[in-house]
Structure 1
Amino acid sequence: MTETATATRTVTVERDLPHPPAKVWRALTESHLIEDWLMKTDFRPVPGHVFEMTADWGTVRCEVIEVAPQSALAYSWNAGDLASTVHWTLTETPTGTRLTMEQTGFRDDQPMYYGGAKLGWPRFFDALETVLDGME
C-alpha cells in the first residue's frame, strides 16, 4: 500500500512597516500587545512553550518552535483539524521593517481554513499597524 503525500497550501502576507524591528518584535511577542491586534493569549517567546489564543469563534492551540529575537518567530497553529505553522520574518529596511508572515499546512480539503486565513491575516496586519502606531 502506498500513501500519497497530501498537498498543502500557504498563506503569505508581507508588509513594509515604518517601525524598527525591536518595536515590531515587541508587538509580536508581548501578550498584552498580541491581544490588541490578534487574540487573547498566554504567549511567551520561549521555544517549547505551549499556549493558546482565544477569540469569540474559538481557540487555537500553539507551541513555540523558533525564537530569533528581532528576526524570526515560529509557532504551531492548531484549530479543529487544522495543523499548521505560522512563521514570522522581520527584515530591517532603510525605513523600518519588512514583516513577512507565512502560515503553512493548509490541506487541499480545508478550503474554509485557507480562505479564512487569506481574509483574516491582512486584517490582523491592519490591526497590528494600529497597535504599532500607538506604541512608544
Structure 2
Amino acid sequence: MTDTTIRKSVFLPVSKQHAWDYLTKADLLNKWFHPADADMAPGQDYTLRSQKDGDRMCWGTVEEMVPHDYMRWSFTVGPANGVMSTVEWTLSDAPGGTRLSLVHSGLPTDAEGFGLVLALDKGWHGFLGGLRNCTEE
C-alpha cells in the first residue's frame, strides 16, 4: 500500500466545536458513521462497529488530535487484511459553519485493491452526507 488517496470535503452548518464533537464523541459517531466503543482520544486505540450486528467494522489508533482543527487516525477494515492506512480530518471556518475535509491515504495501488478503494470512496461519500444531514437537524 502506498499512495492512492481519497479526498472529500463537506460543508456543515455548525461551529467547528460542534462538528468536532460529531467526530470524537461515541454517541454522536453512532448517528452518522458507526457505533464506537468509546470516545476518540489521542494515543488510544478505537473500534467502530457495524450498526447491524455489532461486529468490528474499522479500527486503528487516534494518532494526533488538535481539538476543533485536526485529527489523524491509523485505519483499517477487514478486507485490508490488517494493513493500516491513514485518515486525516481537518476542520476550518466557513461562512455559516465549518468545512470538514477528509484525506484517506496509504490505500492500495494494485488491481487487487481497486475494489477496496472504490468501496471506501463510496462509503466516505455516504457517511459525510449522513453527517451533514445529522448536523442540519
Runs of 4+ in 1 over 3 A off after TM superposition: none
Relative to the length of structure 1, the TM-score reads 0.86
Partner of 1:59: 57
Structure 2 residue 28 is the aligned partner of structure 1 residue 27: no
CA RMSD of aligned residues (A): 1.6
Structure 2 residue 84 is the aligned partner of structure 1 residue 83: yes
Which has a greater percent of strand? 1
One-letter amino acid of the structure 1 residue matched with residue 61 of structure 2: E
Q: Percent identity, aligned pairs only?
A: 26
One-letter amino acid of the structure 2 residue matched with residue 106 of structure 1: L
Give the Å deviation of 1:45: 3.2
Gaps of 5+ in 1: 1-5
Structure 2 residue 90 is the aligned partner of structure 1 residue 95: no
Give the Å deviation of 1:27: 0.7
Bigger Rg over Cα: 1
Give the Å deviation of 1:30: 0.7
Gaps of 5+ in 2: none
Q: State which drifts further: 39-48 or 69-78.
A: 39-48
- How many residues align? The count is 129
Residues 31-83 of structure 1: CA distance to partner in whole angstroms, max 9, x if unpaired? 01101100011243322111111125752121001111110011111123242
Match of 2:114 among 87, 111, 114: 111
